[in-house]
Amino acid sequence: MTDTILSNATLVLPDEVIRGSLRLSDGRIAEIAPGASVTPGAVDCAGDLVMPGLVELHTDNLERHLQPRPKVEWPHQAAIVAHDAELASTGITTVFDALRVGSVFTSSNVGYGEYARALATEILDLRAQGALRISHFLHLRAEICSETLVEEMAKFGPEDRIGIVSLMDHTPGQRQFRDVTKLRDYVMGKRGLSDAEFDAHVESQQALSERLGALHEATAVAEARRYGAVLASHDDTTADQVAVSAAHGVQVAEFPTTAEAARACRDRGIAVMMGAPNLIRGGSHSGNVAAHDLAETGHLDILSSDYVPSSLLTAALMLGDLWGDVPRGVAAVTSAPAQAVGLSDRGSLRPGARADVIRVARLGKAGAVRGVWVQGNRVA
């Protein structure tokens, strides 16, 4: 493999920003050297930022490629490859593809079927063929309020690259949708339900949670251990819910909905992850706590692009501006998520680390990706 040298770059190191060069060799970062000189044959970065590739723990982006329009199903292989290419173009070099496990078949209006095992196999097969540009792991979103969670999770094992299992409880009247009027707006707008149909949906979901919720939560926790995956909570709202999460061994809290929950996570050593779109937009689209507020109080550790892949880089730069600390902002999308899921080989510019590196031109508050290298190979 030919060495790649990125010279005359503004290097975002773990604790400082310096002008220097980076040498990539045999898939690793081989050398970091200070100075603005350009070695013959090197890429002249002209002062652009060079930082670690972004690590994405929670994204719904693949779903958009699988179903580009309501009731339009796209061929899976084409969708996965397009999703992979889009993430690479935004500077994401490691992704945990979020797949729902747990289905609802008895509701004709808002039911949803099983898909995760078949899609996971397709993702892993494409990875094995070398068809994907970036590093893919799986994130199983365990839907507690469902009918088939036990059966679906049993179809996965330690060989499936499952890095995260998140406990997703969307029972109406709690967590993200503790305000049922917010759920009404969301579901009726998306599904076109009548008032009576929506009321029946809420009643059936609450009954389902009462009947199977405890079993499903225990199953998801046990299966995460069997897979060797990190356990995450989702939409914790109260300190009591965080206490339950901590007792389960949760290490990452996805999108806590209140400042109270975020503080409780920090007190219990649980990393807090918030949505980059929330930060960029200035607030939550569901009316929950603003990521900006948690950043100001020091209760934000990790950012996720959630439903807008390009938001991850811009939000990291915004965090760096907010904190007056570019390395700290960049860490929220690189080293912090990598450490949270036990990936010690990536997430920072240091000799010996994976050569997952991106070049970024700063454009006001945002950034434009000018180059992406994964294990030293240019992929975008």
Q: Give per-residue pLDDT as tens, 160-175.
A: 999 999 999 876 656 6
Please check the confidence at residue 201 and state whether its pLDDT lies above 70: no
Question: Distance between CA 257 and CA 375 in Å, rounded?
Answer: 36
**Given pLDDT bands bounded at 50, 70 and 90, which one contains residue 182?**
low
189 vs 275 pLDDT, higher one? 275
42-51, 101-110, 367-376: lowest mean pLDDT where? 101-110
Q: Does the CA dihedral 146-152-158-161 come out positive or negative?
A: negative
* 195-227 and 180-191 helices, crossing angle to 10°: 100
What pLDDT sits at residue 113? 86
Pairing of strands 271-275, 302-304: parallel
DSSP 8-state secondary structure symbol assigned to residue 74: P
Question: Distance between CA 293 and CA 330 in Å, rounded?
Answer: 18
Instruction: Assess contact for 350 and 14: CB atoms under 8 A.
Output: yes
- Alpha carbon distance, N-terminus to C-terminus of the chain: 18
**Given pLDDT bands bounded at 50, 70 and 90, which one contains residue 179?**
low
DSSP 8-state secondary structure symbol assigned to residue 232: E
Beta bridge partners of 74: none
What pLDDT sits at residue 63? 93
What pLDDT sits at residue 101? 97
Q: pLDDT tens for residues 67-92?
A: 999 889 999 999 999 999 999 999 99
105 vs 230 pLDDT, higher one? 230
Please check the confidence at residue 108 and state whether its pLDDT lies above 60: no
Question: Distance between CA 238 and CA 262 in Å, rounded?
Answer: 9
What pLDDT sits at residue 209? 81
323 vs 204 pLDDT, higher one? 323
pLDDT mean across residues, the chain: 92
Q: pLDDT tens for residues 109-149?
A: 666 789 999 999 999 999 999 999 999 999 999 999 899 99
Pairing of strands 17-25, 4-12: antiparallel
What are the b/e assignments for 179-198, b being 16+ CB within 10 Å? Answer: eeeebbeebeeeeebeeebb
Name the burial class of residue 136, with classes exposed (0-12), middle (13-18) and buried (19+) by CB atoms within 10 angstroms of its CB: buried
The number of C-alpha atoms within 13 Å of 42 and in the hemisphere containing its C-beta is 19
Please check the confidence at residue 220 and state whether its pLDDT lies above 60: yes
Pairing of strands 366-374, 357-363: antiparallel
114-118, 181-185, 310-314, 344-348: lowest mean pLDDT where? 181-185
What pLDDT sits at residue 367? 95
Please check the confidence at residue 185 and state whether its pLDDT lies above 70: no
Please check the confidence at residue 196 and state whether its pLDDT lies above 80: no
Predicted TM-score (pTM) of the model is: 0.92
What pLDDT sits at residue 206? 76
Question: Distance between CA 377 and CA 4 in Å, rounded?
Answer: 9
What pLDDT sits at residue 48? 98
What pLDDT sits at residue 39? 86
User: Which domains can be identified in the chain, with CATH numbers?
Assistant: 1-52+346-380 (2.30.40.10), 54-344 (3.20.20.140)
**Given pLDDT bands bounded at 50, 70 and 90, which one contains residue 59?**
very high
Q: Quick one: average pLDDT of 348-374?
A: 97
**Given pLDDT bands bounded at 50, 70 and 90, which one contains residue 287?**
confident
| Percent of all residues in the chain with a pLDDT value above 70, rounded to a whole number | 89
Please check the confidence at residue 191 and state whether its pLDDT lies above 60: no
Please check the confidence at residue 24 and state whether its pLDDT lies above 80: yes
Q: pLDDT tens for residues 221-273?
A: 999 999 999 999 999 999 999 999 999 999 999 999 999 999 999 999 999 99
